[in-house]
Amino acid sequence: MSANIIVIPGEHIGPEVTREGLKVLDWIIANRGFDCVYREELFGIKSLEVHGKLLRDGLVEECMNADAVLFGAMGGPEYDALPPEVRRQGSLLRIRKELEVFANLRPIRGHPSLADFTPLKPEVANGVDMIVLRELNGGIYFGERGTETVEGNVERAYDTEVYTTPEIERIVRFGFELARGRRNKLCSVDKSNVLDSGRLWRKVATRVHEEEYSDVELTHLIIDNCAMQIIKNPGQFDVLVMSNMFGDILSDCAGSISGTLGMLPSAALSAEDENGRRRALYEPIHGCAPDIAGQGIANPCGSILSVAMMLDHTFKRPDDAALIETAVEEVLASGIRTPDIAPVGTTPIGTVEMGDAVISALDRLN
């Protein structure tokens, strides 16, 4: 049967970068024998205008039954005027939660061709190859939250960080398995010196290591120290596993190694079902960037590399994934740049031109 993919381009620069990711997917279909069908769906403000909801009825269920979902970006100032319950009903958090894609893989690589652009020294950034593994279905984004007025007309807002033993067990197990297929090193990140949730996180990670994964090297770091180490010596890391909020923050911090968030893809995966299938959501980690939307200058490499991750993790086509990654590296090495990675004094190209350059590289490599 043909692979079934649902594409949700989203908003602002989301459709622009997703279009280039699909251009690469179309090339794989045409040139590498990948039997695949995909369809696009509205999401967010455009969906609200057409369907009366940010997320139309039935779409989440259709995403659960698809082999994979390719997402673009969401958000923007238009959401400020929407009631909180409307925003939550149509949020990306809801899609992640209902698909139960708890394991968010965010690969971070140092690109030698971008060594002059990253703020880190070339000898620090070059050769970095690590994965920030973010727990995606729990933590502070899904805990009790609210805003209330207390005595004296003072506003009080709260967001509660909550983790259970099973939630921690499944994400650290995923991290250990991931490390076993790489360099066999897992670093668990927490705030155990202050937070009860952090102490539980460290306790569970240590126990799972001792009972099931003693062959993998496990280290623990407090998040503040980890943030410094990512900038000071990122080459020491293989896989880092952490909570939802910490993963959100540190993966963006680690983006400085690649020079721009525009280069960073991600995969969000569920547990395996009885047939070994995982529900999957792929997306670049950058935001919707309304300030540059419509200008045709957004970097599409995060979306293109998300397609590569999809081919690797969901469709078990590592050769196709490696081909795309090599094509992107070749384009970067040739000096072709979008504005976010263009050195001063050089002339950058646009979103479509970057996608075309990757296609040309694929033609040569194939």
Residues with a known catalytic role: 141, 191, 224, 248, 252
Question: How far is CA 337 from each of CA 15, 164, 198, rounded to the nearest angstrom?
Answer: 20, 44, 41
**CB within 8 Å of 262: residues ≥ 6 apart:** 284, 286, 298, 299, 300, 301, 302, 338, 340, 341
Nearest one of 136, 209, 206 to 177, comparing CA atoms: 209
Question: How far is CA 141 from each of CA 92, 226, 359, rounded to the nearest angstrom?
Answer: 12, 21, 38
Q: What angle do CA 187, 193, 196 make, to 5 degrees?
A: 95
Strands (E), 78-144: 103-109, 129-135
CA dihedral 115, 120, 126, 131 (to 10 degrees): -120
